Amino acid sequence: MKTLILLRHGKSDWSGNVPDHERPINERGRMAAVRMATWMRGEGLTPDHMLVSSATRTQETAARLRTVWGALAGEVAPTSIDALYLAEPDAILDTIRSKGQGGTLLILGHNPGLERAAVRFARGGKCPPAMPTCAAAVLRFAVRSWDDVDWGEGALVRHVTPKSLG
């Protein structure tokens, strides 16, 4: 059994005149990342491995998650993946298959590709609603290896947004 967490980055800061790839997260995004990390830790969903878009906003979100996870984060160093920046679903699947490790994998990326991937992974028509900033879709796959993950094979077990956590 493999658990996949698709997590969208925290809310972006649009106040500066910076290229999209270098855009940071704002205060709301920082608080949402902490809220989601706390929820993941409480649910036993701290990942074994993190694959993170190379964009500044995803890297900052990953850093906030790791701060909350504390000692657990030492074993969850994020791997920065250029191909996840604004990735479409097929690129996300390819990344999971080629770089996925451990029993629980977190992909930290962007919409609309992340939301589309969540919909395509979920079987039986049970797909998550929209993926606003810092939302997580948690899917379980009855496979032995990340190489075996495929569209329509995931059971959507949770869809959480920072707002839904209160």
CATH value at residue 96: 3.40.50.1240
Model-level pTM?
0.95
Q: What is the pLDDT of residue 9?
A: 97
Number of domains in the chain: 1
Instruction: Let me know if residue 84 belongs to a domain.
Output: yes
Q: What is the pLDDT of residue 73?
A: 56
Identify the domain containing residue 28 by its residue range.
Answer: 1-10+20-102+113-118+126-140
CA–CA dist 143, 124 (Å, integer): 17
Instruction: Let me know if residue 93 belongs to a domain.
Output: yes
Cα→Cα distances 27→16, 133, 143, Å: 14, 13, 38
CA–CA dist 82, 103 (Å, integer): 23
Instruction: Let me know if residue 46 belongs to a domain.
Output: yes
Q: What is the pLDDT of residue 70?
A: 78
**Token duo for residue 160:** 């959480």
Q: What is the pLDDT of residue 166?
A: 74
Which has the closest alpha carbon to 107: 136, 131, 128? Answer: 136
- Give per-10-residue mean pLDDT for the chain (166 aa): 97 92 96 96 93 97 91 73 97 97 96 94 76 96 97 94 89
